[in-house]
Amino acid sequence: MFFASVTFRLTSPPTPLPQGEGRVSPFPRREGGQGVRFYLTRCALLLLILCWTLCAGTTQAQEGVPVTFRLQLDEPAKVVYLAGTFNDWQVGRTPMRSDDGGKTWTLTLHLMPGVYQYKFVVNGTDWRTDPNAVQNVDDGMGNINSLLVVEAKGVNPPARVGDGVITLSALRHAPREMFYLQADGQNAVLTLRTRRGDVQRVEVTLYDGKRFVKKPLPRVVQDTLFAYYRLSVPRRPLQYLFSVQDGGKQVWLSPQGATDTRPSRWFRLQPERLPEVQVPTWTADAIFYQIVPDRFLNADPNDPDPTQPLDETGRTDQFFGGDLWGVVQKVDYLHRLGVTALYLTPIFTSVTHHKYDTDDYTRVDPHFGGDEAFITLCRELKRRGMRLVLDGVFNHVGVYFFAFRDLLQKQEASAYRDWFTVHRFPVKIESPPPYSAWWNIPYVPKLNHDNPEVRRYLLDVVTRWMQRVPFDGWRLDTANEVPDAFWQEFRREVKRVRPDAVIIGEIWGDATHWLRGDMFDAVMNYPWRGIVLDWVAFRRIPPSVLDERLRLLAMGYPRAVTYGLYNMLSSHDTHRLRTLCGGDWRKVRLAFLLQMTLPGAPAIYYGDEVGMEGGNIPDNRRPMDWNPPAEGRALREYVAALIRLRKEHAALRRGDWTTLLTDDSQNVYAYLRQQGKEQVLIAINNGEKPATVRLKLPATTRTLRVALRSDGSAAPQRVAVNGGGWLSLRIPAMTGWMLLPDTAGKSP
Catalytic residue numbers read 477, 506
How many angstroms from the chain centroid is the CA of residue 561?
12
107 vs 68, 89, 402, 653, CA distance in Å? 6, 16, 40, 47
122 vs 75, 97, 149, 256, 298, CA distance in Å? 11, 12, 23, 44, 42
Strand pairing category for 718-720 and 703-709: antiparallel
Span between the terminal Cα atoms of the chain, in Å: 51
Strand pairing category for 126-128 and 348-349: unpaired
Phi and psi at residue 325, in whole multiples of 5°? -65, -35
How many angstroms from the chain centroid is the CA of residue 646?
22
Q: DSSP assignment of 296-320, as one string?
A: T----S----TTS-SSTT-------
Q: CA torsion, points 360, 395, 524, 485, in degrees to nearest 10?
A: -120
* Rounded distance between C-alpha atoms, residue 716 and residue 744, angstroms: 13
Which amino acid appears at position 504 of this protein?
I
* Rounded distance between C-alpha atoms, residue 675 and residue 523, angstroms: 25
Tell me the longest C-alpha to C-alpha distance in the chain. Answer: 84
3-state secondary structure of 207: strand
Q: Using the Cα atoms of residue 520, residue 526, residue 531 and residue 532 in order, give the sign of their dihedral.
A: positive
584 by Cβ neighbours in 10 Å (0-12 / 13-18 / 19+) ranks as middle
Which amino acid appears at position 87 of this protein?
N
Which amino acid appears at position 351 of this protein?
V
3-state secondary structure of 726: strand
* Rounded distance between C-alpha atoms, residue 641 and residue 586, angstroms: 16
Nearest to 342 by CA among 377, 298, 376: 377
Which amino acid appears at position 540 of this protein?
R
282 vs 466, 499, 521, 561, CA distance in Å? 18, 12, 12, 12
* Rounded distance between C-alpha atoms, residue 24 and residue 416, angstroms: 49
Sheet holding 703-709, edge to edge: 656-663, 668-675, 678-685, 735-741, 703-709, 718-720
Task: Report the 10 Å Cβ neighbour count for 201.
Answer: 12
* Rounded distance between C-alpha atoms, residue 663 and residue 112, angstroms: 33
687 vs 68, 538, 631, 666, 731, CA distance in Å? 44, 12, 21, 6, 10
- Residues sharing a CB contact under 8 Å with residue 725, sequence separation 6 or more, in sequence order: 696, 697, 698, 699, 700
Q: Do 675 and 655 meet the contact criterion of CB atoms below 8 Å apart?
A: yes
Integer-rounded Cα Rg, in Å, for the chain is: 27
- Residues sharing a CB contact under 8 Å with residue 137, sequence separation 6 or more, in sequence order: 27, 30, 34, 35, 36, 38, 39, 117, 144, 145, 146, 147
